[in-house]
Amino acid sequence: MARPVLITAERRKTRQIRVGDVAIGGGAPVSVQSMTTTKTADVDGTLSQIYALAAAGADIVRCTCNEQAAAEGLARIIPRSPVPIVADIHFHHEMALAALEAGVHGLRLNPGNLRKPEEIKLVASEARDRGVPIRIGVNAGSLHPDLYKRFGGATPEALVESARMELAYFEEVGFNDVKISVKASNVPLMIESYRLASETFDHPLHLGVTEAGPPPAGLLKATAGIATLLAEGIGDTIRYSLTADPVEEARAGRQLLEALGLRERKGLDLIACPSCGRAEIDVIGVAKQVQAALEEKHLPIQVAVMGCVVNGPGEAREADLGIAAGRKKGHLFIKGKIIRVVPEAEMVEALVAEADRIVAEGIEARLAAADSSAEAEAAEDRRALLSQKGEDVNNSEARVELIRKTVASEKG
C-alpha cells in the first residue's frame, strides 16, 4: 500500500488526557470528532447516528445534554456506544452534573454561556472525582460580553483570555484534565486564536472552524483553518462543523488526517487526471464509477484513473493501482507497471477486482501475476496514439514558439 509522507512540522508538545479509551495530546494520533444531530432522548436514533459516525472515521462523538430527558438518554446510549461520548453543555450546570451521572466520557463547557464561578467549580470538582476530562469550548460568537468590551471585539486575545479564566477556576479545585478550543467562523481569526493558544497553554487543543456552513464552502473554510494549523504542528483533535449530515464531518476529518499523513489510511484515496485533448474516455464519469464501486469496500489503497495510456501510468506510478485508457482498451497498472489490458467496457470491473486482490494478496504478488504481454500491448497503443494525436496535444510548444517570435519582434 502507498505510505503517507508525514508533514515536516514537529507536533507541538502537550500534556495528555484520555476521553474514554482515546488518548488526546502528548504525542497521541490526532483524533476526529463529530456531533449527533438527533434528539439525545431518542436513544435508538442517536445510537444509529453514532454507529454511522464511527464507521465514517469518528473517534469521539458529542451529544447535546440540554434537558433531563437527554441525560437519561445518555445513560442508555453510553453502554451501547462504539466510541466515547462527550456531553455538550451550555447554560445549565445541572445538566453537566446529570451527564456525569449518566457516565459520559467527557464534558464540553462553553465559558460564554456558563458563567457563575461557583457552578463552574462545582462541575470541575465532580469531573475531577470521576476522572472525566472537560473541554473548555470558547466560541467567538458567544464570548462573554465583558471580554468583548474589554478587548474591543472577538479578538484572538479575547478568546484565549476566556479560556485562561475558565482554566483558573478549574485550577482552584485541582482539576487539570482539560483540552481547549478557541473557535471562530472567521478563518483568519480562528488560525490566529489557536496560534496564540498554542503559545499560552500546554493543554491539548481541539481544532475547528465553528459554523463553517454547508459544503462545499463549509468544507473549504474548515479545511483552510484546520489544515493550516495541523501543518504547523498545532492541534490534537479536530471537528468539521458543517451544515450537513454529520457523517460528512467525520469522513472529511478522517480524510484530511490521512492526506496529511497524520493517520494511517483506512479508506480509498482516489486520484484522477484533469483530462486533456488526449483523453480517450470520460475521465470524470469513470472516476465517479470507480469511487462508487470502491468507497463502500473501505479498501486502504490509492487508486488512479487516468485518461490516456501515453502518460497515465508514469504520472501515477506511485499509486497502488490504476487504469489508463487507450484505443478502446483499459490498461491496468500497479505502481506504474502495466499488468493487464482489458476491453474499455470492462475496465471499471477489472479495476475493482484487482483492488480486492491487492488487499488480499499484496502488491508484490499481483505484480508477479502480471500478463507478460501487457507491457508490449500498452507500448504499441502508446505509439499509435502518439502518431495520431502527437506528444503535444494541447499545442503548448506551438504557443511557446509564438511567444518567442512576439518577444523577438518587439525587441527588434
CATH number at residue 362: 3.30.413.10
Question: Is 288 in the same domain as 374?
Answer: yes
Q: What is the mean predicted confidence (pLDDT) over 157-175?
A: 97
Q: What is the mean predicted confidence (pLDDT) over 361-384?
A: 86
Contact 24, 236 (CB under 8 A): yes
Q: What is the mean predicted confidence (pLDDT) over 227-237?
A: 97
Q: What is the mean predicted confidence (pLDDT) over 325-335?
A: 83
Which amino acid, residue 10?
A: E
Contact 367, 389 (CB under 8 A): no
**85 found inside a domain:** yes
> If residue 256 lies in a helix (H) or strand (E), which one and from where to where?
helix 246-259
**394 found inside a domain:** no
**409 found inside a domain:** no
**Integer CA distances (angstroms), 19 to 47, 131, 237, in order:** 18, 10, 11
Question: Is 201 in the same domain as 138?
Answer: yes
Question: Is 140 in the same domain as 219?
Answer: yes
Question: Is 254 in the same domain as 373?
Answer: no
Q: How many folded domains does the chain comprise?
A: 2
Query: If 0-12 CB within 10 Å is exposed, 13-18 middle and 19+ buried, where does residue 3 land?
Result: exposed
Q: What's the pLDDT tens digit per position in 8-40?
A: 578 999 999 999 999 999 999 999 999 999 999
Contact 242, 249 (CB under 8 A): yes
pLDDT at 2: 44
Answer yes or no: is pLDDT of 304 > 70: yes
In whole angstroms, give the CA distance from residue 207 to residue 205. 6
In whole angstroms, give the CA distance from residue 17 to residue 30. 13
**403 found inside a domain:** no
